[in-house]
Amino acid sequence: MNPMLNIGVRAARAAGRVITKHMGRLDSLRIEKKGHNDFASEVDREAEAEIVETLLKAYPDHGVMAEESGQLGNADSEYQWIVDPLDGTMNYLHGYPHFSVSIALYEKGRPYQAVVYDPVRQELFTGGKGEGAYLDGKRVRVSGAAKLSDALVGYTYPYKQGDDLTLPLATLKALTENTSGVRREGSAALDLAYIAAGRLDGAWMHGLKQWDFAAGALLVREAGGLVNDYQGGDSWMQSGNLIAASPKVHHGLLQTYASVQREHSE
């Protein structure tokens, strides 16, 4: 394994231990409200501190961009770690056992290594640029689903108060009508890892932050899948609006969203 990825895995497992340790005392956690539907707990912070310490101890000259702390370490380094210590915080705070630790390493601004770790199932998804995607050390590929109508797809829309839901709900309706099933499981990083492993055939995601998708998007691409914005371009890295899927399902998702947009611009 790439030595930097190895450190990323060590950091993710350390964060996973913090997360599971506190699962028995969810009622007494200190919770901070960052915005409507947007929470962080002392667990997010403790897990993040564990990750940052592991990464910067091994690589003191690297930079780290972390959800709760922002930029740490050397912002000018060609190596930047993008960290989400607990993706699916809402699930976690409710005791709904579906969340993950997401750690990506960018080299010169491009995705280079990726880890998504599920501390409940103890499943480790890893990948490296040009090296493929792995689940617990075994190579994985996106699904071979040929048609959108056979696809199981994820849908992520973190609602913020005041949002106009017309287009997101029209999209949910179209996905419900045109696929086998829609899942809204609440951890974007894990959805992407599941696409890489062929458990989901694709996903429509809106308004993500870089730490939500940085690791998962690399996993999807390394597993033979596609990640694009809604027009098939690359603006998703800035906007966080993306479609990720196995190639044939990806095409179907792009067409579906295009028709939703057409209907709503008329």
Distance CA(266)–CA(262), nearest Å, equals: 6
- Provide the minimum distance between the beta carbon of 178 and ligand 2AM in the complex, in angstroms, as a whole number: 22
* Sign of the Cα pseudo-torsion (223, 226, 228, 233, in order): positive
Binders of ligand 2AM: how many residues, by CB under 6 A?
A: 14
Distance CA(37)–CA(158), nearest Å, equals: 8
- How many CB atoms are closer than 10 A to CB 173? 12
- Provide the minimum distance between the beta carbon of 86 and ligand 2AM in the complex, in angstroms, as a whole number: 6
DSSP for residue 31: E
85 to 104, contacts with ligand 2AM by CB under 6 A?
87-89
Residue among 68, 84, 118, 222 that touches Ca ion (CB under 5 A)? 84
183 to 222, contacts with ligand 2AM by CB under 6 A?
186-188, 207-209, 212
Which residues, at least 6 apart from 137, have a Cβ–Cβ distance to it below 8 Å? 124
Give yes or no for residue 16 binding ligand 2AM (CB under 6 A): no
As a whole number of Å, the end-to-end CA separation of the chain is 52
Q: Which does 148 bind (CB under 5 to 8 A by kind): Ca ion, ligand 2AM, none?
A: none
Parallel/antiparallel/unpaired status of strands 152-156 and 138-140: unpaired
Residue among 84, 118, 201, 222 that touches ligand 2AM (CB under 6 A)? 84
Q: What is the CA radius of gyration of the chain?
A: 18
Give yes or no for residue 87 binding Ca ion (CB under 5 A): yes
- Provide the minimum distance between the beta carbon of 88 and ligand 2AM in the complex, in angstroms, as a whole number: 5
Question: 145 or 190, CB closer to ligand 2AM?
Answer: 190
Distance CA(66)–CA(229), nearest Å, equals: 23
Give yes or no for residue 38 binding ligand 2AM (CB under 6 A): yes
Give yes or no for residue 212 binding Ca ion (CB under 5 A): yes
Question: 139 or 184, CB closer to ligand 2AM?
Answer: 184
CB–CB of 65/210 below 8 Å? yes
DSSP for residue 4: H
Sites of contact with ligand 2AM (CB under 6 A): 38, 84, 87-89, 156, 158, 186-188, 207-209, 212
Sites of contact with Ca ion (CB under 5 A): 84, 87, 212
